[in-house]
Amino acid sequence: MSLVAPAQHADRILAGDERAVDPAALLTLLSGELDVWDTMAAADRVRRARFGRHVHLCSIINAKEGGCPEDCGFCSQSRHYSTHVAPSKFTPVSTVVEHSARARTRHATALGLVTATRGLDDDGKGLAHIESAIRAVREAGHTEAHASVGFLSEAALDRLVDAGLTELNHNLETGRSYFAKIVTTHTYDERIETIRRAKAKGLRTCVGGIFGMGEAPSDRVELAEALRELDVDEVPLNFLVGIEGTPLAGAEPLPPLEMLRIIAAYRLFLPRQNIFIAAGRTYLGQLLPLMFSAGASGMMIGDFLTTPNRGPEDDLRMLEELGLSPYGCGTAHPERIELAPRPRTRLPVVA
C-alpha cells in the first residue's frame, strides 16, 4: 500500500495532476491507516481551489413511487420487499412543476425526476409522461430538469433530451465485485451502458453510490475507479438508511468519522467532480457541516424519495453560517473560481 501523506496528494492535485491519487493510494486513504483529519484537511484544500465557497444544491421528486420490478437490496421501492412504500401512479405534471418552483426557493438549481422503474419503454405511457414533465419544468424555468428513470434506449434518450433534459442520474451503487450481492435482476454492465449512452447524447451524468451496505474498502475503490473511468460530472454519495422490510434493514449506520473519511478520500480521487451528499447525511449528526471540510461541494436539499431529510431552513442556515453560497449546476466547473462574497442576508425560504 502507498503511504503518501494526504497533504502531498493535495499538493500534486493542485499542481495540476488530477490523477495524483491512484487506486492503491485511495485504498490507503479509505482504510483508516491515515489520520482522518489529515485526509480531510487535504480534501478541503482541493475543494476550495475548485469550488471556492460555492455549494451545489439539488432536489428530487418521486415521479413514480414503489412497485419496482428490480430487487436492489437497499431499496424501499422494490416490489420484492414489504416496506412502508405503496406503488403509486405517475405524479401529475403540475405537481412536478410545483416542486420545481419550491426547489428554486430553496436555492436548488435542478429538480431530479425519479421513477421506481426498471426503465421507460420507448412506446410506453411512462416515457410520454416524463417527457411532458421535463418539458413543463423547462418551460416553467424555475430549475433544470434532471431524471433518474432506469434504463433508456437511444430513442428514449433522444425524446427526453428534446424535451429539455440536461442531466441523467444513474447510480452504480457500489463496486462491480459487490454489486451482485446487492442486486440480482440486472447487471453492472447494463448500468454502465446507460451512462455511456447518455454521455454520447451530450447529457451531463450524475453517478454515485451507497456506502454502509457491508462493502469492503476495496469495493469503495472499485466504485471510485468506475466513476473516474466514466468521467461523470456529479457524484452523489449516499449512506445507507436501513429501511424496514428490505434485506439491509438491520445494517448499522456508518460512524460519522467513517463517512467523512469516505467523502475526503473520494474528493482526492475525483478532484474535478461535484461530489454531493444525499441520503443518510443526517447520520453525520453534529458533524454534518464538516462534510464540506471533507471535500463535499454540494448536497441534496428537501426530502429524499421515501425518507425525510433535515428541514431546508436548517440547511440554508448552515450554509450561511459557514459562509458558503449556492451555485448553478453545470455552470461553475472552471479550473478555479473566485471566492464568492459571504451572503449579507439570510437566504430566504418560501414555503
3-state secondary structure 150-162: CECCHHHHHHHHH
Q: Please state, in angstroms and rounded to a whole number, the distance separating the CA atoms of residues 8 and 155.
A: 46
User: What part of residues 126-155 is at the interface with ligand SF4 (CB under 6 A)?
Assistant: 150
Q: Which is nearer to ligand SF4, 7 or 180 (CB)?
A: 180
Shortest Å, Cβ 89 to ligand SF4: 15
- How many chain residues bind ligand SF4 (CB under 6 A)? 8
User: What part of residues 11-70 is at the interface with ligand SF4 (CB under 6 A)?
Assistant: 68, 70
Q: Which is nearer to ligand SF4, 247 or 302 (CB)?
A: 247
- Tell me: does residue 319 bind ligand SF4 (CB under 6 A): no
54 pairs with which residues across the strands?
325
Shortest Å, Cβ 205 to ligand SF4: 16
Phi and psi at residue 165, in whole multiples of 5°?
-65, 135
For 242-254, give one letter per residue: b (16+ CB within 10 A) or e: bbeebbbbebebb
Shortest Å, Cβ 168 to ligand SF4: 14
Shortest Å, Cβ 249 to ligand SF4: 15
Shortest Å, Cβ 329 to ligand SF4: 22
- Tell me: does residue 273 bind ligand SF4 (CB under 6 A): no
Give the contact letters, 92-131, x = binds to ligand SF4 (CB under 6 A), - = no: ------------------------x---------------
From residue 256, how far is each of 150, 253, 274, 288 by CA, in Å? 30, 9, 21, 8
84, burial (CB in 10 Å: exposed 0-12, middle 13-18, buried 19+): exposed
Q: Which is nearer to ligand SF4, 68 or 198 (CB)?
A: 68
Q: Which is nearer to ligand SF4, 105 or 153 (CB)?
A: 153
From residue 213, how far is each of 9, 11, 170, 238 by CA, in Å? 28, 33, 18, 11
Please count the other Cβ atoms lying within 10 Å of the Cβ belonging to residue 18. Answer: 13
Please count the other Cβ atoms lying within 10 Å of the Cβ belonging to residue 193. Answer: 13
Shortest Å, Cβ 171 to ligand SF4: 8
Q: Which residues contact 178 (CB under 8 A, 6 or more apart)?
A: 213, 214, 215, 216, 219, 222
Shortest Å, Cβ 129 to ligand SF4: 16
Q: Please state, in angstroms and rounded to a whole number, the distance separating the CA atoms of residues 74 and 184.
A: 12
Give the contact letters, 72-91, x = binds to ligand SF4 (CB under 6 A), - = no: x--x-xx-------------
Query: Which cell is 97 given?
Result: 412543476
Q: Which is nearer to ligand SF4, 77 or 166 (CB)?
A: 77
Shortest Å, Cβ 336 to ligand SF4: 36
- Tell me: does residue 215 bind ligand SF4 (CB under 6 A): no
Q: Please state, in angstroms and rounded to a whole number, the distance separating the CA atoms of residues 78 and 61.
A: 17
Q: Which is nearer to ligand SF4, 72 or 97 (CB)?
A: 72
Give the footprint of ligand SF4 on this chain (CB under 6 A). 68, 70, 72, 75, 77-78, 116, 150
